[in-house]
Amino acid sequence: MLLNALIVIATIAFMELFSIVAHKYIMHGFGWGWHRSHHEPRTGWFEKNDLYAVVFAGIAIALIWFGTRGYGRIEWIGAGMTGYGLLYFIAHDGLVHQRWPFRYVPRSGYFKRLYQAHRMHHAVEGKEGAVSFGFLYAPPVTKLKQQLQAQQNQLRSPRGQAAATDHAAPAARD
């Protein structure tokens, strides 16, 4: 029983780490076709990005099904994925994106930081230059503001000037 609970908790923690990587490199990479809808105004109850939840729910259901038929303890991994999905739905879809029938904006603590971090994620247009890819973990807001500012400054500086400086530096050392 204790081992099963530990598997569920470890899976929830792993899912947040996996989600950070998947959000940054898949959703903001080759999977942008589905995720783009999440960065645009929603016109109905659902968006194409919700297909990611369907895929992960399908995997969790399969793990639970196979696990209950004697294939190790993988049903507890599926349960952890389901638990993570519930936390994602509450924190991300409900709290941050207000997909509930009521509005709540946190004024302090962890939920305020999570809310602000994800709002900063959406502060840029398109898939490039975003910060804070976690859904349940939020880096400090001051750090995210610095990252956004540094990226904006990098985009403003002329490319030719930076390239010329990069090439001139090694020649000066020779």
- Residues of the chain above pLDDT 90, percent: 73
The confidence score (pLDDT) of residue 2 equals 96
pTM, entire model: 0.83
Which parts of the chain sit beneath pLDDT 70?
A: 155, 158-174
| Geometric angle at alpha carbon 133, from 84 and 119, rounded to 5° | 100
Query: In whole angstroms, what is the distance from residue 8 CA to residue 136 CA?
Result: 16
Is the four-CA dihedral 11, 23, 133, 85 of positive or negative sign?
A: negative
Residue among 109, 131, 99, 104 at smallest CA distance from 118: 131
Token pair 């991994």: residue: 77
**Residue 37: DSSP 8-state:** G
pLDDT in tens, 39-89: 999 888 899 999 999 999 999 999 999 999 999 899 999 999 999 999 999
> How many other CB atoms sit within 10 Å of the CB of residue 81?
23
Beta strands in 23-141 (DSSP E): none
